[in-house]
């Protein structure tokens, strides 16, 4: 395994982060335990969760993923071996079953206390805001939704002041953002600096070979402001494993069970690009998943690459990507496809 640190901290994290959003829905507790055991054995010390997991989010399964992780901590005593990240759910109809007051002081307090209880721990290493409440272009929205977004804006100062109370008490070690824009990220950084409040150290945004919009503005923010990317959906919800090529819908796959999760990644341009990337991988003796993950692992603004798997063979393949160094030839071939079919997935 390769390691780095959360920016501006001494917290050592693996370049591969174990994603957990299928646990409690597509994966049983027993299967999740097996994944955590194996990942830790392979040197993966960074786990990412969220209060709303598993997905699709609903009232019946709310918090189930965190409960599974907490049960594993209790069984194994491995809490101190793991850098644990979690998130407060953003607002909107999708999370109305959780709460309806966004990132209010009351909501943040409730969310943190609930996560600590489910996770059976007294601290969270990295606590993140899952998505902005003001309306931004994420989750498959390519353009900025200016007609509605101008009516909304977070109270950045109140949010950071509230989180600071938990940082000072030792309940939270560091804070992070998720699904953020350059403006939002800089606003949080500016607010923290002006008011001597906790500084976000990471941004968890989607990034894959068919969705590289982070490079448009956020990559410069990451490099110049030293706020690292935690890349999620690096395989584009499994599309960049190649398993959906030719219209295949494997039994039990996320895209088969929940088609809307892969819809943004299966347009004509994406299908064409995935086919071409698959040809490159085969040419060089790699699987498409290995090449897709290895590409992200080597990017200078990436702190950690969040993988997710429902089967152990997928998990092993994903973790093994850390041992693959892509040659200049492969990287040039990838960039040629990207130039011809740039960011086909929104």
Tens of pLDDT, residue by residue over 68-100, are 999 999 999 999 999 999 999 999 999 999 999
**pTM of the predicted model, to two decimals?**
0.97
Give the pLDDT mean for 175-204.
Answer: 98
- The CATH number of 3-238+295-326, from 3.20.20.100, 2.60.120.40, 3.40.50.720, 3.40.50.10440, is 3.20.20.100
Task: Evaluate if residue 287 carries a pLDDT over 80.
Answer: yes
pLDDT tens, residue by residue, 218-241: 999 999 999 999 999 999 999 999
Per DSSP (E only), the strands in the chain are 3-5, 12-14, 16-19, 46-48, 83-88, 124-129, 172-178, 202-206, 228-232, 302-307
Cα–Cα distances (Å) from 138 to 1, 18, 49, 63, 75, in that order, read 31, 22, 19, 23, 37
53 part of the active site: yes
Q: Are residues 123 and 175 in contact, defined by beta-carbon separation less than 8 angstroms? A: no
Distance CA 216, CA 258 (A): 30
Catalytic one of 3, 38, 53, 123: 53
Answer whether residue 247 shows pLDDT above 90: no
CB of 280 closer than 8 Å to CB of 333: yes
Residues above pLDDT 90, as percent of the chain? 90
pLDDT range class, residue 282, cuts 50, 70, 90: very high
């Amino acid at each position: 395994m390769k390691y780095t640190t959360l920016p501006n901290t001494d917290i050592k994290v693996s370049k591969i982060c174990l994603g957990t959003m299928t646990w409690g829905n597509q994966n049983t507790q027993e299967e999740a335990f097996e994944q955590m055991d194996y990942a830790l054995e392979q040197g993966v010390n960074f786990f990412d969760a969220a209060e709303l997991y598993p997905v699709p989010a609903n009232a019946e399964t709310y918090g189930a993923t965190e409960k599974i992780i907490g049960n594993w901590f209790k069984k194994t005593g491995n809490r101190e071996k793991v850098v644990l990240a979690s998130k407060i759910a953003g607002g909107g109809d999708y999370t109305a079953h959780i709460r309806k007051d966004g990132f209010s002081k009351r909501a943040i307090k409730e969310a943190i206390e609930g996560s600590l209880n489910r996770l059976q721990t007294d601290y969270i290493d990295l606590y993140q805001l899952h998505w902005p409440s003001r309306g931004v272009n994420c989750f498959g929205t390519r353009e900025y939704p200016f007609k509605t977004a101008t009516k909304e804006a977070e109270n950045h100062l109140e949010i950071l002041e509230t989180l600071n109370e938990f940082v000072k008490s030792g309940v939270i070690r560091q804070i992070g953002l998720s699904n953020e824009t350059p403006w939002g990220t800089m606003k949080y950084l500016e607010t923290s600096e002006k008011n001597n409040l906790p500084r976000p150290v990471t941004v968890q945004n989607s990034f894959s070979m068919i969705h590289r919009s982070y490079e448009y503005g956020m990559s410069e923010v990451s490099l110049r402001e030293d706020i690292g990317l935690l890349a999620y959906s690096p395989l584009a919800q499994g599309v960049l494993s190649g398993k959906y090529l030719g219209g295949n819908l494997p039994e039990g796959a996320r895209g088969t069970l929940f088609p809307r999760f892969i819809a943004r990644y299966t347009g004509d341009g994406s299908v064409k690009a995935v086919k071409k990337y698959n040809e490159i991988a085969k040419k060089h003796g790699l699987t498409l998943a290995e090449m897709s993950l290895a590409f992200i692992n080597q990017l200078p603004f990436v702190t950690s690459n969040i993988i997710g798997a429902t089967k152990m063979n997928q998990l092993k393949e994903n973790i093994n990507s850390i041992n693959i160094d892509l040659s200049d030839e492969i990287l040039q071939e990838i960039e040629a496809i990207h130039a011809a079919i740039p960011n086909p997935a929104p």
